[in-house]
Amino acid sequence: MAQSPAVSPGVTLDLSGVSCPGPIIGAKKIVMELAEGEVLLLISDCPATMDELHTWAERTGNQVVKTERLTSGATGYYVRRGRRPELEPQVSLDMRGSVCPGPILEAKKVLGGMASGEILRLVSNCPGARADVEGWARVTGCKLEDVVEFGSHDWEFYIRKA
């Protein structure tokens, strides 16, 4: 694995003293809340963490970008949030600049022409978009697979057609 000296974690989770699968479960909870590209520093002294973390990261589209031995004897694992490979959208719809309910109305039109199971990537910067899209997805039966916030009120919604 290539080491990257310029990795800066946004969140640190110290699970020293916790045996596996605890560190993996903790890392998963934190990483799934991070925006794509953000980094978690997981600190663990469980010997099984290395293999389990690499397996989990590979399976979920995340990446262990750096490991380092710490003075405490534990290991620091830098985990970068990636996009799950199964969330590659078939259609992308960029609605930045459009206010609600515009993004939802356009998403509804686009989804109408898509096959069941396909994914729409909807991009919006409307301040109310997150709550509106989440509620709309629940009501329509579409599955909101992921939400990536890449700025203040800038979101990517990954919506799977029912």
Q: Which residues form the catalytic set?
A: 20
- Contact between 122 and 93 under an 8 Å Cβ cutoff? The reply is yes
Q: State which amino acid sits at residue 33.
A: E
Q: Please give, one letter per residue, the 3-state secondary structure of 68-82.
A: EECCCCCEEEEEECC
Bridge partners (DSSP) of residue 64 are: 79
Q: Is 8 exposed, middle or buried (0-12, 13-18, 19+ CB in 10 A)?
A: exposed
How far is 68 from 64, CA to CA, in rounded Å? 11
